[in-house]
Structure 1
Amino acid sequence: MSHHSTSLHPQSRSGFGYFFAGAKMAMQPGLRRYVFIPLLINVLLIGSALFYLFSNLNSWIEQWIGGLPEFLDWLTYILWPLLALTILATFSYFFSTLANFIAAPFCGLLAEKVEQRLSPQGMIDQGWADLVKDVPRIMAREWRKLVYLLPKALGLFLLLLIPAFGQTIAPFVWFIFTSWMLAIQYCDYPFDNHKIDFNSMRMQLKQKQSKAYGFGALISLFTAIPILNLVVMPIAVCGATVMWVCEFKNSKI
């Protein structure tokens, strides 16, 4: 019997609630060493990306807006902040997807350790050797997520290229899209630890769509905010695992 005490008893929450439960969980002493590697990968990748982005953002937007016909000049004041936010969100999302791909085995291990804290029954305690053995399967799963994501992301990017209309509507559509994709990205770690296939995981998330969207929306927001997006990955993994234990674990068959 584990004597680890945790202030997070498995109980149903809102999507937002699971994100904040994840933040609380990530701070727990026994979990910090599992939080560290995903955090480090995220900080290095997203930190470098943001530095590059802020060095070039202004000139990119000026070029984009420069293509507008003169009679739409008044739109510049609306489009500038919308484009800045869209580029920031897109950049952050792209690099966080890349960071997730690289950190996937460590995120899976973190999800497993969080689940052991909350609901030890039915869990096999895996170590680093098991993690290494699981890497090919985990990376194949990450590739499956990318195959699901990329065509949709490309369609949205093409929408952004439509002058005026696309640039006005795309940020809102992009936010809804990333909310769902980030819910899938992070909730998949505990599902995958239990060898539940990708399509079954998606169907189960759809049954709790409002919670999944709420959880993903908060991750999406934090992913787009500089500095905060450096720490979002381990928090989201922990939050997704709390959601798995409270919402899905007992209905996984």
Structure 2
Amino acid sequence: MIRVLKDFSTGVGLLAKGFGLVFRSPKLLLIGAIPAVLSSALLIGSFVLLALNIDAIATWATPFADDWSESVRTVTRFAAGISFIGAYLAIGLLAFTAVTIVIGGPFYEHIAETIEDEELGGVPDAEQVPWWRSALNGVRDAVLLIGLAVLFAIPLFAAGFIPVVGQTVVPVVAVFVNGWLLGIELTGIPFTRRGKSLKERRAVLRSKRALALGFAVPSYLLCLIPLAAIVVMPAAMAGGTVLAHRLLTGRDQVPAHRPYPNGTQAS
């Protein structure tokens, strides 16, 4: 248990390191924020639309409660509404991340490559993948991960109707499940540079599950804050690059004061 907690806290530290890396280089922060702004507008707009219609959706989903007493019907439909919002956040945030990475493919590749090459010692024999091919691979992986999110969302949605458990345990489980899937997405570019598949990426992350969750869960929670993803996404991409590099090479930093190309100092 102590080892698990240590790995989890180390993962949190990798996200913090990601924030440090992008804040030390405003150019990287700006580059990563541009696609996140576009995707955030889509995510927030769709969430507002859902929120405005959640009562009607919950009523449509629970026709069996029409003849129940008013108090039981209200509680049931409230639980249904919460479950729909939870499922939306689970699937929507992964879709948001996928869309952001696809839209900002060249931007995030630049962030990942800059950090690995200038901060972490580089990637010998890195594959030069064309942008269009990287985008296609990203879409394919995103569809698979969103499919997994849907599969997990179905039982979690059903469990949301269980009194007390559905409003306490289920949200915690959902955060860890969706954080895990988000972590898989955020570490994609360093694995792709080495010619590794989604299956291989998942296997490597599973070998250090607590470390990966320590990075991914706070990334997921921060992305739930409206508009925070504009800053969180570049930092999470940087942190995911450090995490992937560490897992693939056993190293996560090089000697201090290695300069970025723009003259800022890495530490």
Which residue pairs with 2:28 in the alignment? 31
Partners of 1:30 and 1:98 in 2: CA distance? 21
Which residue pairs with 2:179 in the alignment? 179
Which residue pairs with 1:105 in the alignment? 106
1:19 aligns with 2:15: yes
Aligned residue pair count: 235
- Kindly state the Cα deviation for residue 219 of structure 1 after the two structures are TM-superposed: 1.7
Partners of 2:77 and 2:55 in 1: CA distance? 14
- Kindly state the Cα deviation for residue 64 of structure 1 after the two structures are TM-superposed: 4.5
Counterpart code for 2:112: A
TM-score scaled to structure 1, two decimals?
A: 0.74
Per-residue displacement from partner, 1:75-125 (whole Å, max 9, x unpaired)? 459727843751552333333333233323322221111222312344689
Please, which of 28, 34, 40 is the counterpart of residue 37 of structure 2? Answer: 40
Gaps of 5+ in 1: 1-11
Alignment of 1:1-253 (within 5 A): 14-27=10-23, 28-61=25-58, 63-64=60-61, 67-68=64-65, 70=68, 72-73=72-73, 75-76=75-76, 79=79, 82-83=82-83, 86-87=86-87, 89-90=89-90, 91-122=92-123, 134-159=130-155, 160=157, 164-165=161-162, 168=166, 171-250=171-250
- Kindly state the Cα deviation for residue 50 of structure 1 after the two structures are TM-superposed: 3.7
Which moves more between the two structures, 211-220 or 223-232? 223-232
Relative to 1, partners in 2 of residues 1:55 and 1:24: Cα closer, same or farther, differing over 3 Å? Answer: farther
Conservation of the 8 A alpha-carbon contact between 2:116 and 2:123: no
Gaps of 5+ in 2: 1-7, 252-267
Query: What SS is found at the alignment partner of 1:113?
Result: helix
TM-score scaled to structure 2, two decimals?
A: 0.71
* TM-align CA RMSD: 3.5
Partners of 2:176 and 2:143 in 1: CA distance? 19
Which moves more between the two structures, 82-91 or 190-199? 82-91
Relative to 1, partners in 2 of residues 1:115 and 1:103: Cα closer, same or farther, differing over 3 Å? Answer: same
Identity rate, percent: 20
- Kindly state the Cα deviation for residue 207 of structure 1 after the two structures are TM-superposed: 1.0
